[in-house]
Amino acid sequence: MRAAVLDEVEILLAEQPLLTKTEIDGGLKFIGKYKICNQFENEIFEDYFLLEIFIPNGFPEDIPTAKNTDGKIRANNYKGHVYANGQLCLEVDTAIAAFLQGNPSFLAFLTKYLDTYLCGFLFYRKHKYLPFGEHKHGVPGLLDYYCELFETTDIKVAYSLLACLFRENLKGHIQCPCQSGKRYRDCHKEKINELKASSLYERYKDDFESIIAELDKR
């Protein structure tokens, strides 16, 4: 594990003294009470959560996970934003990976994803609606992510543009799949080439295969 991450681990343990670090196969696990104190819309949301936080040795290429272990957060009391094994559905994995690509900080991951998620849970428990909007799960969530990535609200357009990543010899003079009426080379070609060259290419490919598999079931 990188030295910078280990330095952040010491900061985390100082800030969260009720967590215990354990070395396990594949990475580091933190077990215990995790405190948040966040302000949102002029309210303070503060509480402790019993969690297991895992940092894989391959971080930041491999993303961390967090589980709730005391049953405080359940699928039936937080709009399904937790898996059956207690793992928290923080965000689409590819979105997290893209964030970590530009900001490979474990503490930044906790602030952006875990603290926001827990604050959102406390807000929802009090007000009965989600403060940050509905995040879909599975393939619908992936399609939402690619809509944002390609700056479209049309999931069919997002799917078509994602498919371009895996097509060979796509001619620049064809009409762009985004249906803008422009030629591909004058529209999304540069963006598609950028994604093809990205270190996240294999994630994009896995996402596309998941989308294809889900569509084949319908």
Q: What is the per-residue pLDDT across 167-204, written as a single tens digit (0 to 9) for each?
A: 988 888 999 999 999 999 999 999 999 999 999 999 99
Structural domains in the chain (count): 2
Name the residue range of residue 181's domain.
138-217
Amino acid identity for residue 201 in this structure: Y
What is the distance between the alpha carbons of residues 218 and 209, in angstroms, rounded to a whole number? Answer: 15
DSSP structure string for 9-43: HHHHHHH-TTEEEEEETTEEEEEEEEEEEEEETTE
**90 part of a folded domain:** yes
Could you tell me if residue 152 is inside a domain? yes
pLDDT at 198: 94
Residue 52 belongs to domain with CATH number: 3.10.110.10
Q: List the structure tokens of 202.
A: 């294999």
Final residue of a domain: which of 92, 127, 162?
127
Is pLDDT at 133 greater than 80 in this prediction?
A: no
For the cut 80, the answer to whether the pLDDT of residue 74 exceeds it is yes
* Mean local confidence (pLDDT), 50-55: 98
pLDDT the model gives residue 81:
86
Q: pLDDT category, 108, cuts 50, 70, 90? A: very high
Strand partners, 24: 27
Q: Is 53 helix (H, G, I), strand (E, B) or coil?
A: strand
